[in-house]
Structure 1
Amino acid sequence: MFVRRQTVKGNTYVSLVENRWDAVRRKHYQVKIASLGKHDDPAAVERAHRIASSLTAFCHRNGMSTLEGGRITIDPSSETFCGISLDWGIREVTVHGLTRLGIMKTVEELHRRYTANLSLPSLLSATTAMIAHRLTNRTDASERATHAWYTDEVFVPGKIPLTPMDFYRSLDFLVDHKDAIEQAYFEGNRDLFSQRLDLVLFDTTSVYYWGKQDVPSDAADLLQYGFSKDGKGNLKQLIVGVLMTSSGVPIAHEVFPGNTADVRSFAAIIKTVKTKYKLEKVVLVADRGMVSEENLLVLEEMNLGYIVGVRMRTLPHDMQQTLMAELEPKDMDKVNDHLFTRQYYAANFSQAQIKAWFLDKILKGKRKNPLPTMDIKTIEAHVRNRRFFVFLNPLVEKATKGKREFFKEVIKRKISTTPTKEWIVKNGYKKYVQFADGLHPTLDEERLAGEELFDGKWVLVTNEQEVSPVEAGRHYQTLQRIERGFRDLKSLITIQPIFHYTEKRIKAHIFVCFLALVVKWYICRAINSTPMEDGRRFLEAMENLKAIEVDRAIPLYVRTELTQPVVSAFKKLGMKMPEKIIIDGREKTVPLTKHAGGRPKSDTSAQTTLLDAV
């Protein structure tokens, strides 16, 4: 069906015509469906608009797509029709997050006192692009890659052209004002934090560096060789520490030299943060990798509270039996339906136990760092002030026992089929195998049975007397959010590779990644704090929300489809639903006006109507 214009005796008439197929004569013929009148007759124009509006309403009611009030004026087979799709959604949600958290406003206020050659529009555009780029699944987080992405693949109405230098200058601005931005973010969003921010979760990760490795490092340099959690020991690295509240809210981050391994350095940073944010008290919650007697004594010497995990298998055997043997849920305090706990006071241990389990180990053990300047009585007083919490999950306990029986059968098969020489080298099953005759491997039944003691259990130690076992367990489990935050920081929020030559730019690069982590946390929390997966799926959907270039010459851009979960997420975030047509450069028709007692009149001299498309 189409609109036909036909000129008869100098007058142009418009009609609605339909193509039909004659099966007998085997050819098409045309049937006039309706006559709309003369082309320049206002009544005919109004009649055409009524038909178009009615069809548009019908499409909306039946879920059909339509460019309301318009038409496509180019051939759909043309290469310029819907030529490209550009990233649009991920930048829009980034701008919303930065605005709601007050970070955008803070940057604008700080720029007023900034004298460098960087305009405010360029700063805001570059900062938004860098943070949005970290939220995508792209593997290259360098600023040059971000500049190329912004220039060629991002849709921004009225986009400001940026150079790579604009991105580098924006990095310099951000790192110069890091403390002010973090402080303003913290103060402006206290309603997102707990009323008393007295519990801080802290963990670190290593980030390797792809730049030059052959340049010697001074002791004060940020880039150093050290233990790499990524298995990249041949590359220089730095350490990134992130602090979060007990509910998983990112507060701040710090960057340390890559060879930092002393807990005293971390504790000093925590004390700095305590002063910076006017915190009454800070309790450090850390994973098992931070636990050693010298580390705990350092924290106690600096008067810092802690809740840390314990490596159960490194405890003395009789201490393991005291804490974990013969635990039954009916004799323990209930945390929830599947978790039970029991606490032990170190003050109730005997003098012999204190000496054997702690003091001898502290005084005679091997250590990388010197012990704090404490006498033996002070050390014993700190030890007796500790409490141990043992947690039991019966479901995990049962599942672990089943896996171990399967594991035993696997080892037995391997012993019968694996050459002896392969047990000499690194082998994941080696610790459960013994060589009774010095030559042939056999299953170490005793050691494997000893693993039953640890099934479904985990142990915490704290020097805080006001924290209940239930609270301690909840806080420690929140560390999973930190671990996820670090996975975000290193993968989902892409932080690598780092190529910058100066430490200032390296710190700025990581600061941008931290801001991306803050934005991502806010989005996930606003959509559904438990679980956070809804927010993650929303960000993936935003990355797939594109701006389609229908016609560059007009210009005309439309967005891709919004699913119902995305629409719901927009409402939870308080974001305005984007229109289907993002940019519409088509000429608009002049609305008809009716005059009392007369025919509808309009100025047709400058009017483009639906009929003009025919």
Structure 2
Amino acid sequence: MRVTTSRSKNSESFYITKSYTNAQGKSTSKTIRKLGTLAELSRRLGTDRAGVMAWANEEARLETLKYKSETEGAAVMVPFHPNRPMDYNKQKLFGGGYLFLQSVYYKLKMDSVCRKIKGRYKFEYDLNAILSDLVYTRVLDPSSKRSSFRAAKQFLEAPAYELHDVYRALSVLAKELDFIQAEVFKNSFFLGGRNDRILYYDCSNYYFEIEQEDGDRRYGKSKEHRPNPIIQMGLFTDGDGIPLAFSLFPGNQNEQKSLKPLESQILQQFGCEKFIYCSDAGLASEDNRVLNHLGQRSFIVTQSIKKLPAEDREWALDMKGFKRLSDDAPVDITQLTEDDRQNLFYKDEPYTTKKLHQRLIITYSPKYAAYQKAVRGEQVVRAEKMVADGALKRQRKNPNDPARFVNRIAVTEEGEKAKVHYFLDQEKIAEEEKYDGVYAICTDLLDDDVTDILKVSEGRWQIEDCFRTMKTDFEARPAYLSREDRIKAHFLTCFLGLLHFRLLQRSLKGTYTTEQLLQALKDIRFADIEEQGFMPVYERQKITDELHEACGFRTDYQFLTKRKMKEIQKKSKNR
């Protein structure tokens, strides 16, 4: 409700009016009450025009409160006509799952980040609208940039920019990649603490649907074993598996060298100085360990037992000297009880290399040993079938290929040419059995409790899950972009999408899988009801209740007026 006035030749009248949207979808207004003329009200109230206007505004406020109290919870009557056809080209179904990601987006102050970037350029398009839609569609409907633009048009708040603006924005986002990551990390503390005392690091690669190398897209060892050029990504997450920072490097580069530049950026721009670096053996070179032995940093990394010096390898595989992790009691691994087969055992000793004094921890898990034995047993059966059928294919480099257990004899004892004979290599099988259930960890934390060290190491599954989510659920690969700057921006939106999703997932009270939360967000849709409002057309569940509670608004009422929906959209942008 608001106060309006009308002037005639001899007087000025005051009214309370109400704005609304008519059946044709146009905004209009109607008079609720006439308050009187200026002369009448001035005489009655004993004041001038300013005093009359203040009184009128108060009357409008009271009228608004009265209207809300009368209409709150009232049934909504929407007329439908059985013989009236639908309008052409009228969208009736809208996606609403983005509202919950939008709540995270604005709490991260991404709009402020975009304003800072805009101040350094002269573009006219809305960078904030473009970036936010790229993030939302990467989570909810991952596809090409053109398809993402079309998908964003299905949201309750359709984009006002054009497709060519998206491609122009990608170039700007690529230039500001480091700045955006640093700002997002700083702002992420507004959504709760970050466990930046533990940093997990890992690398993966993404293939492109091209046949020739170009720029950073180089031939390398693809995770998918595809014969396409790849680009590699190094990713840091915090101790809770929340993405922290990422970098891109050529597909043919040794991933060991990717750590130092990204870690230097974290030290300089993120203010992280004291943390434990944790990675798998592939990223635990001597130089990377030395790097994370400096200052207030430490490391906990997995160690390949096969690459240990002979003396240390013999000690690691010796079944003597183990202790039960739960109580440090000495245990004979060869004489375990049924109860002990559920436990974990360890032993440790100093481990010195040319550059570092370290601690080598060996663990033994009976359950893991049984699992490895069962898997190998199936592989041996397949290898035996290969020998029997004489259908041995060329052995691949895959360490799980059953053909690794097949050996061959191609000459006689006199060295003469002979027919090739294949046989099952029992020595190879026996050699692998030595490593069943055994796992090695190296650290420079010489005095810390083994239980705490192992707990940190076990958390590496979280960063592996991040890569799996980006590749599978967010469809980060294959990438179809060709320009280097747009490729960088593509992976930036994937990174930001993952960050938003993980922060939203953490805010829920219950524990939900990635698939459960993704499906819940994708299912949240609204039907337009004759332009009078929206009806939710999704199933209310416990997870949707928790989403509403975490984000501070509710969309699960039977009917939402247009005014109410705008209030919800406004709340989703509150910090």
TM-score, normalised to structure 1, is: 0.67
Task: Specify every segment of 5 or more residues in structure 1 that has no aligned partner in the other structure, as ranges.
Answer: 1-59, 61-66, 348-357, 359-378, 586-614
Which deviations, in whole Å up to 9, do the C-alpha atoms of 1:389-412 show, x marking residues without a partner?
A: 112222222333344445544444
Aligned partner of 1:203 in structure 2 is 202
Q: Could you tell me whether the CA contact under 8 Å between 2:299 and 2:443 is conserved in 1?
A: yes
Note closer, same or farther for the CA distance 1:150–1:404 as it changes in structure 2 (3 Å cut).
closer
Question: Residue 199 of structure 2 aligns to which amino acid in structure 1?
Answer: V
Equivalent residues of 2:97, 2:522 under 8 A apart: yes
Name the structure 2 match of 1:254: 247
CA distance change for structure 1 residues 196 and 522 in 2, over 3 Å: closer, same or farther?
A: closer
C-alpha separation in 2, matches of 1:134 and 1:80: 31
Asked if the contact 1:308–1:476 (Cα under 8 Å) also holds between the matched residues in 2, the reply is: yes
Q: Quick one: which amino acid aligns to residue 162 of structure 2?
A: T
- State how far apart, in whole Å, the 2-side matches of 1:195 and 1:566 are: 24
The CA distance in 2 between the partners of 1:259 and 1:304, in whole Å, is 29
The equivalent residue for 2:155 is: 155
Consecutive unaligned residues of structure 2, counting only runs of 5 or more, are 1-72, 329-339, 412-419, 564-575
Residue 573 of structure 1: aligned partner: 550
Residues 146 and 163 in structure 2, CA contact (< 8 A), matched pair in contact too? yes
Question: In structure 1, which of residues 197, 208, 229 is the aligned counterpart of residue 223 of structure 2?
Answer: 229
Contact 1:199 1:246 in 2 (8 A): yes
Q: Tell me by how many angstroms 1:340 deviates.
A: 3.2
Determine whether 1:100 maps to 2:79: no
Cross-structure match for 2:392: 422
| TM superposition shift of 1:267 | 1.6
Q: Deviations over 1:282-341 (max 9, x none)?
A: 432111222455665676699964322222334455533311321586555669974333
1:508 counterpart residue number: 489
Instruction: Give the superposed CA RMSD.
Output: 3.8
CA distance in 2: counterparts of 1:114 and 1:212, whole angstroms: 38
Q: 1:538 corresponds to which letter in structure 2? A: L
- The answer for the alignment partner of 2:422 in structure 1 is 441
- TM-superposed CA distance for 1:574, in Å, is 3.1
Tell me: CA distance 1:227–1:300, structure 2 relative to 1, closer, same or farther (3 Å): farther
Corresponding residue for residue 184 of structure 2: 185
* Contact 2:246–2:262 (Cα < 8 Å) also in 1: no
1:5-404 matched pairs, under 5 angstroms: 68-75=75-82, 78=85, 86-107=93-114, 109-110=115-116, 113-119=119-125, 122-138=126-142, 140=143, 142-151=144-153, 154-157=154-157, 159-190=158-189, 197-210=196-209, 213=212, 221-235=215-229, 237-261=230-254, 263-292=256-285, 296=289, 305-315=298-308, 318-326=311-319, 330-332=323-325, 338-347=343-352, 379=354, 382-383=355-356, 385-404=357-376
Report the alpha carbon displacement of residue 98 of structure 1 after superposing the two structures with TM: 0.7
Q: How far 1:135 sits from its partner (Å)?
A: 0.5
- Asked which structure has the greater CA Rg, the reply is 1
- Describe the shift of the 1:471–1:191 C-alpha distance in structure 2 as closer, same or farther (beyond 3 A): farther
Relative distance call for 1:192 and 1:322 in structure 2 (3 A) is farther
CA distance in structure 1 between the aligned counterparts of 2:384 and 2:479, rounded to whole angstroms: 47
Q: Aligned partners of 1:155, 1:338: CA distance in 2, in Å?
A: 51
- 8 A contact 1:524–1:536 mirrored in 2: no
CA–CA distance in structure 2, aligned partners of residues 294 and 114 of structure 1: 38
Evaluate the alpha carbon distance shift between residue 566 and residue 295 of structure 1 in structure 2; reply closer, same or farther with a 3 A threshold.
closer
Q: Is the 8 A contact 1:81 1:550 kept in 2?
A: no
Q: Distance in 2 between matches of 1:136 and 1:240?
A: 22
Residue 432 (1) aligns with residue 413 (2): no
CA contact (8 A) 1:135 1:494 kept: no
SS where residue 237 of structure 2 aligns?
Answer: strand
Q: Which residue number corresponds to residue 372 of structure 1?
A: none
Q: Distance in 2 between matches of 1:451 and 1:212?
A: 38
> How many angstroms apart in 2 are the aligned matches of 1:431 and 1:501?
39
Structure-1 separation of matches of 2:93 and 2:262: 43
TM-score (norm 2): 0.71
CA distance in 2, matches of 1:205, 1:252: 14
Aligned 8 A contact 1:267 1:299 in 2: no
Q: 1:253 is paired with a residue of what secondary structure? A: strand
Superposition map of 1:471-550 within 5 A: 471-527=452-508, 531-533=511-513, 536-550=515-529
CA contact (8 A) 2:392 2:403 kept: no
Change (3 A) 1:412 1:334: farther
Answer whether contact 1:538 1:569 (CA < 8 A) is retained: no
Report the Cα offset of residue 127 of structure 1: 1.8
The residue matched to 2:156 in structure 1 has which SS?
Answer: coil
Cα 1:162/1:346, change in 2 over 3 Å: same
Residue 133 of structure 1, CA deviation: 1.0
Flag the 1:295–1:243 CA change in 2: closer, same or farther, 3 A: closer
1:532-553 CA deviation, whole Å, 9 max, x = no partner? Answer: 51x54122121122222443xx
8 Å Cα contact 2:321-2:347 kept in structure 1: no
Structure 2 vs 1, CA of residues 343 and 190 (structure 1 numbering), >3 Å: closer, same or farther?
Answer: farther
Which secondary structure does the structure 1 equivalent of 2:392 belong to?
helix
Per the alignment, do residues 486 and 313 of structure 1 end up closer, same or farther by CA in structure 2, a change over 3 Å counting? Answer: same
Cα shift readout 1:263-284 (whole Å, capped 9, x = no counterpart): 3442232123112222223432
The structural deviation recorded for 1:209 is 3.4
Pairwise CA distance, 1:114:
4.6
Name which of 537, 540, 544 aligns with 1:560: 537
Residue type of the partner of 1:88? Answer: G
Residue 410 and residue 568 in structure 1: after superposition, are their counterparts in 2 closer, same or farther (change >3 A)? same
How far 1:262 moved relative to its partner? 5.6
Once the two structures are aligned, what percentage of the paired residues are identical?
18
Residue-by-residue CA offset, 1:227-260 (whole Å, 9 max, x unaligned): 332334432x322211111221211222223332
CA distance in 1, matches of 2:395, 2:245: 44
C-alpha distance in 2 between matches for 1:317 and 1:77: 85
C-alpha deviations, 1:184-205, integer Å up to 9, x for none? 3222333767677343211122
* C-alpha contact (below 8 Å) 1:244/1:482 kept by paired residues: yes
1:520 and 1:466, CA in 2 relative to 1: closer, same or farther beyond 3 A? Answer: farther
**One-letter code aligned to 1:251:** L
Corresponding residue SS for 1:118: coil
Task: Give, in whole Å, the separation in 2 of the partners of 1:77 and 1:289.
Answer: 67
Q: Structure 1 residue 509: deviation in Å?
A: 1.8
CA 1:223–1:430 in structure 2 vs 1: closer, same or farther (change >3 Å)? Answer: closer
SS in 2 for 1:434: strand
Q: Which residue is 1:47 aligned to?
A: none
Counterparts in 2 of 1:161 and 1:564: CA distance versus 1, 3 Å: same
CA distance in 2, matches of 1:84, 1:319: 69
Aligned length in residues: 470
Return closer, same or farther for 1:570/1:455 CA change in 2, 3 Å cut-off: same
